[in-house]
Amino acid sequence: MTLSGLLVQLLNGLVDASSLFLVASGLSLIFGVTRIMNFAHGSFYMLGVYVAYTFVSHMGESVGGFWVAIILSSLVVALLGALIEIVILRRVYRAPELFQLLATFSLVLILQDLALFIWGPEDLFGPRAPGLTGSIEILGRNFPQYNLVMIVIGPAVLGILWLLLNKTRWGVLIRAATQDREMVSTLGVNQAWLFTSVFALGCFLAGLGGALQEPRIPANLALDLESIGTAFVVVVVGGMGSIPGAFLAALLIAEVKALCIALGTLHIFGIDFPMSKMTLVAEFLIMAIILVIRPWGLLGKPQAAARNDHSAEPPLRPSLPIFKWCTAALVLALLLVPVFEETFPYAQIILVEIFIAVLFAASLHFVMGPGGMHSFGHAAYFGLGAYGAAILVVTWKLPMELALVAGPLLAVLGALVFGWFSVRLSGVYLAMLTFAFAQIVWSIVYQWDDVTGGSNGIFGVWPSDWLSSTTALYYLTLSIMLAGILILRRILFAPFGLAIRAARDSDLRADAIGVDVKRVQWVAFVVAGLFGGIAGAIYVFSKGGISPEAIGVGRSIDGLVMVLLGGVQTLFGPIVGASIFTWLHDSVARETDYWKAVLGMIILLIVLLFPAGIVGTLSHLWHWVKHHILLQTKKEEASK
């Protein structure tokens, strides 16, 4: 590696830092004031690229026209953001953290299909910036002029934001609201418009970040999730809500990545370390390290406890006999399904999918409901279980039966490591760390061609002969799912189940009666990882293989949606949620090209209308009816 090469890489790092900062600063600003982790922030960035593509194509031939187009694009995105804030987000500010994340995630789905509808599925290469198409020479290497402009824009935006926040009344109000929104409103400030303005500014920054990329990268539909992951990392590393922190973090992450590229492949002790391949993992490793050393990020402050009002949850009680009988009847019905194979040929296949989803959702529910830890990376354990089993069968030639048992052990190993770090944090930080670990697993799987098959995945993983029929696999999956659910339920009623609920309700009290809270939570993580891994292992055999898409962020989010759809407060909720979600997913996807948007709308409706989830809502309804009938009878008795 030459000095000039290193220098150019470091300069490239500065360019990336600028664009990272633009997106992350908006995200951080929005989180600081509204306390919403806006999953759709990457989508606004993506829209910025697309809108800029359209505008610059039409009016960007002159230097002035280009920059006007960039600003206009950012304004369009800001306007869209304001509209979304007013119509949707205003309704979820009081909802629990998880519901907010879910609402914004539904926006990701909807906005992605909106972009698909307007701009189509092809990558769009936009025109370059007039007047900046050339390059300058640095130590004999060419460096694009446009990149120099990018380097300057980051610090310039930081400066403007600083002035805005510290030297204007609006800025003072924003900073006050970041700390205590209720007080601000009792002092006569209309929060609603404050929030809208912050959200619009945040979206403007995301849009600007995207628009500025227009000459550099093609507009495409993967930009949203790609950028949101990194933006989350930047915000968390910098400290939530801290703009200078976001700048520092963007710089740190971009430069570390640049160094990885500059180093190329290192030879240490005769082993090749392909450092340039580290870039996908680098940011998540940085985040994991920073969060363990400084749990609140570089310049962040400890956050108030997350608003998960689990402590008002009713105690777990043994099931009523009627419920037990209903369950038995349901199981009997499921056992009889293969008998009607001819009438419903598709039933077993969709049910196998549902069973796997149920087990996955139940294992996630275990850690996030009773455990109170909101994992945003449960796909990691599903993935480790799946790849564990697949590798054992294909590479090691082990029989399926053994792989089904040994595969999930890889998930346990993962949960042991990831859980150890994760339980040291709480709230949004924990959620983001679990997300980071899942991304690491995904990146490793995606890049480690020799072992995991890289982006192609591993295929030809079929069950043993005696299990190869649809019906045999159906019964196998059904029994594993039932056993899993019963065991998880049993654990929740055992002393350990009491301990995890106690640790969630009050870690202060738990600590003061000798409970090692972190250890309890760690074990809970591992238990959840085990069952998530089992779900992954059966999945491999039901599909005949596994690929990175199946274990990506989408899987983690699906799990969350399932649990919340059913209701996080009940044990039965995730089962219902997973069933309905899988069925919906399957039937909607067959009907339309825009299934993501439809799914997004459904999620949004549920979040806005049934915040307690389906089972939760039904049980509230039941209590309400009981209460009113009881009241009625009492009144009648009294009148007699």
Partner 1 sequence: MQETILEVNGLNAFYGRAHILFDVGLKVRKGEVVALMGRNGAGKSTTMKAIMGMLSRTQGEISFMGNPIAKSAPHVISKMGMGFVPEDRRVFTDLTVLENLEVGSQSEREGAPHWTAEKLFELFPNLGEMPHRPGGNMSGGEQQMLTVSRTLMGNPYLVLLDEPSEGVAPVIVEQMANMIMALKKQGLTILLSEQNLQFADLVCDRAYVLENGHVRFEGTMEELAANDDVRRNYLSV
Partner 2 sequence: MSLLTIDNINKAFGGVKAINNVSFELPRGQLLALLGPNGAGKSTCFNMLNGQLKPDSGSIKLEGVELVGRHPRQIWNEGVGRTFQISATFGSLTVLENLQMVLLSRDKKLFRLWTPAASYYKKEALVLLDQVGMADQADRACSVLAYGDVKRVELAMALAHDPKLLLMDEPTAGMAPKERNQLVMLVKKMVIDRNLSVLFTEHSMDVVFEHADRMIVFARGELIADGSADDIRNDPKVREVYFGSGKSFEAA
- Summarize as ranges the residues that interact with partner 1 (CB under 8 A): 94, 169, 172-173, 175-176, 178-180, 182-191, 312
| Interaction of residue 312 with partner 2, rule CB under 8 A | yes
Site stretch for partner 2 (CB under 8 A), options 348-356, 454-462, 486-494, 538-546: 486-494
| Interaction of residue 499 with partner 2, rule CB under 8 A | yes
CA distance 504 to 373: 8
| Interaction of residue 184 with partner 2, rule CB under 8 A | no
SS3 state of residue 273: strand
Quote the distance between the C-alpha of residue 351 and its chain's center: 26
What angle, rounded to 10 degrees, do the helices at 495-505 and 470-493 form? 70
The least CB distance from residue 498 to partner 1, in Å, is 24
Site stretch for partner 2 (CB under 8 A), options 178-186, 235-243, 287-295, 494-502: 494-502
SS3 state of residue 201: helix
Long-range contacts of 310-316 (CB under 8 A, 24+ apart): 310/369, 310/372, 310/504, 310/505, 310/569, 311/504, 311/505, 311/506, 313/569, 314/569, 316/492, 316/493, 316/497, 316/501, 316/571
- What value does the CA radius of gyration of the chain take, rounded to a whole number of Å? 26
| Interaction of residue 424 with partner 2, rule CB under 8 A | no
| Interaction of residue 336 with partner 2, rule CB under 8 A | no
SS3 state of residue 116: helix
| Interaction of residue 320 with partner 2, rule CB under 8 A | no
Phi, psi of 458 (to 5 degrees): -115, 130
Contact 26, 197 (CB under 8 A): no
Per partner kind, with CB cut-offs from 5 to 8 A, the member of partner 1, partner 2, none near residue 495 is: partner 2
CA distance 374 to 214: 36
Output 176 or 285, the one with its CB closest to partner 1: 176
| Interaction of residue 321 with partner 2, rule CB under 8 A | no
Beta bridge partners of 556: none
The least CB distance from residue 511 to partner 2, in Å, is 5
- In sequence order, what are the residues at sequence separation of 6 or more whose Cβ sits closer than 8 angstroms to the Cβ of residue 185? 191
Among 491, 550, 565, 602, binds partner 2 (CB under 8 A): 491
The least CB distance from residue 545 to partner 2, in Å, is 33
| Interaction of residue 314 with partner 2, rule CB under 8 A | yes
Per partner kind, with CB cut-offs from 5 to 8 A, the member of partner 2, partner 1, none near residue 189 is: partner 1
How far is residue 269 from each of residues 273, 274, 312, 390, measured CA to CA in Å?
Answer: 10, 14, 57, 31
Output 192 or 331, the one with its CB closest to partner 1: 192
Among 123, 516, 549, 593, binds partner 2 (CB under 8 A): 516
Among 161, 358, 523, 576, binds partner 2 (CB under 8 A): 523
Per partner kind, with CB cut-offs from 5 to 8 A, the member of partner 2, partner 1, none near residue 501 is: partner 2
CA distance 633 to 627: 10
| Interaction of residue 301 with partner 2, rule CB under 8 A | no
Give, for 266, the enclosing helix (H) or strand (E): strand 265-268
What angle, rounded to 10 degrees, do the helices at 145-167 and 169-179 form? 80
Tokens 């959840």 sit at which residue? 528
Output 41 or 181, the one with its CB closest to partner 1: 181
| Interaction of residue 593 with partner 2, rule CB under 8 A | no
As given in the structure block, the two tokens for residue 613 are 């989830």
| Interaction of residue 490 with partner 2, rule CB under 8 A | yes
As given in the structure block, the two tokens for residue 390 are 């697949």
Q: How many chain residues are in contact with partner 2, going by CB under 8 A?
A: 32
Output 2 or 506, the one with its CB closest to partner 2: 506
Among 309, 303, 364, 304, smallest CA distance to 504 is for 309
The least CB distance from residue 408 to partner 2, in Å, is 17
Output 312 or 609, the one with its CB closest to partner 1: 312
CA angle 21, 22, 23 (to 5 degrees): 90
Among 162, 459, 496, 610, binds partner 2 (CB under 8 A): 496
| Interaction of residue 416 with partner 2, rule CB under 8 A | no
Output 169 or 317, the one with its CB closest to partner 1: 169
Q: What part of residues 536-555 is at the interface with partner 2 (CB under 8 A)?
A: none
The least CB distance from residue 184 to partner 2, in Å, is 25
Site stretch for partner 2 (CB under 8 A), options 244-252, 285-293, 413-421, 490-498: 490-498
Site stretch for partner 2 (CB under 8 A), options 28-36, 459-467, 491-499, 555-563: 491-499
Using CB under 8 A as the criterion, which residues of the chain lie in contact with partner 2 when the complex forms? 310-315, 318, 490-491, 493-499, 501-502, 504-506, 508-516, 520, 523
